[in-house]
Amino acid sequence: MTQALVNGLTLGAVYALVALGYSMVYGILGMINFAHGEIYMLGAFHGILALAFAQHYLANFSPVVCLLGALVLAMLFCGGYGFTLERIAYRPLRHAPVLSPLISAIGMSFLLQNYVMVAQGSGIRGFPMEFGRRLTETRFSAFAGAEFSLLEVFILATSLLCMAGLHLYIYRSKMGKAMRATSQDRRMASLLGVDVDRVISATFIAGSALAAVAGVMVSMYVHAVKFNDGYIMGMKAFTAAVLGGIGNIPGAMLGGVLLGVVENIGIWFLGAGYKDAYSFIVLLLVLIVLPRGILGEQVSDKV
């Protein structure tokens, strides 16, 4: 039971990172970025590819440096993918009827998923574990017989660090101020001199970079990644975002952690066969019982 809590907390922190991307985009554009899960998957692939490169060519660097380098590279490239995604698939449709950007987002999700499948194969791609061995092998025993590894601590710490960084970015930087203004009233913000296009691009880049961090860490935690991993992760992160109140950033964090814990307790009680179905059930219940989410303030007309 406590073990389930510990694992749930770790996974939940990762869900929260991906959920932040959904929440930020929803807050500003009022739409769900269906392809966000694929960005997470791309992040995992970039991390693994960078580490595979390091394994061959940078063998005498310390694993920690390689790992951090891979993390940064994945963030950079995923930021690029997020930016490109918005430019190609969403910007031309900003004034189109509601269904159009949704279909375009789903199309983009197929495109990215199959692009990785064609380029990298449809099999499982393993994480080069010599970079993470130290992290997985150091284990601590916690309260009540539960055990956790250094990797779990690393994932939790990195996630918290990213969330704190995002919080600072949104509440302290000029761009963050512009983001908040845009999410309140896009038209008014643009009248007051905020470059809305730039703000939207920045939102996509920031959200995608967070998803990349999540991707690298999860691929290290479960030792592998597959081209269609993004879609299940996207569903779960979306559930987390809705659970916490969509458009609300602390809510996304809370929702992610709650979902991770619920899922792991569900596995503990009911077995792993329906592991991925729990989040759908949670999503459905939340949307019916508490459509605003836990921390959501305003009633959205979408629900």
Coil, strand, or helix at residue 106?
Answer: helix
CB atoms within 10 A of CB 277: 12
Q: How far is the CB of 101 from another protein (least distance, A)?
A: 7
Among 18, 19, 20, 45, binds another protein (CB under 8 A): 45
Residues 115-154 that bind another protein (CB under 8 A): 115-120
Our finding on whether 58 is near another protein (CB under 8 A) is no
Residue pair 46/225 in contact by the 8 Å Cβ criterion = no
Mark residues 62-81: x for contact with another protein by CB under 8 A, - for none: -----------x---x--xx
| In the complex, minimum distance from the CB of residue 157 to another protein, in angstroms, rounded to a whole number | 27
Q: C-beta of 67: minimal distance to another protein in Å?
A: 17
Residue selected from 56, 273, 298, 299 as contacting another protein according to rule CB under 8 A: 273
Closest separation between CB of residue 80 and another protein, Å? 5
Based on CB atoms, which residue is closest to another protein, 14 or 112?
112
x/- string (CB under 8 A) for another protein, residues 219-238?
A: ---------x--x---x--x
CA-wise closest residue to 220 among 158, 137, 127: 127
Q: Which residues of 241-272 are buried (b: 16+ CB within 10 A; e: fewer)?
A: bbbbbbbbbbbbbbbbbbbbbbbbbbbeeeee
DSSP at 147: E
In whole angstroms, give the CA distance from residue 163 to residue 170: 10
Nearest CB to another protein, comparing residues 26 and 148: 26
DSSP code, position 94: T
Binding segment for another protein (CB under 8 A), chosen from 5-13, 27-35, 190-198, 254-262, is 27-35
The contact pattern for another protein, residues 86-105, with x = CB under 8 A and - = no contact, is --xx--xx-xxxxxxxxxx-
Can you tell me the distance from the alpha carbon of 182 to that of 287, in angstroms, rounded to the nearest whole number? 26
**Could you tell me how many helices (H) and strands (E) the chain has, helices first?**
12, 4
Torsion angle (degrees, nearest 10) of CA 108, 112, 114, 118: 140
Distant-in-sequence, close-in-space partners of 281: CB < 8 Å, separation ≥ 6: none
The residue ranges that bind another protein (CB under 8 A) are 31-32, 34, 42, 45-46, 49-50, 73, 77, 80-81, 84, 88-89, 92-93, 95-104, 106-120, 228, 231, 235, 238, 242, 273-274, 276-277, 279-281, 283-284, 287-288, 291, 301-303
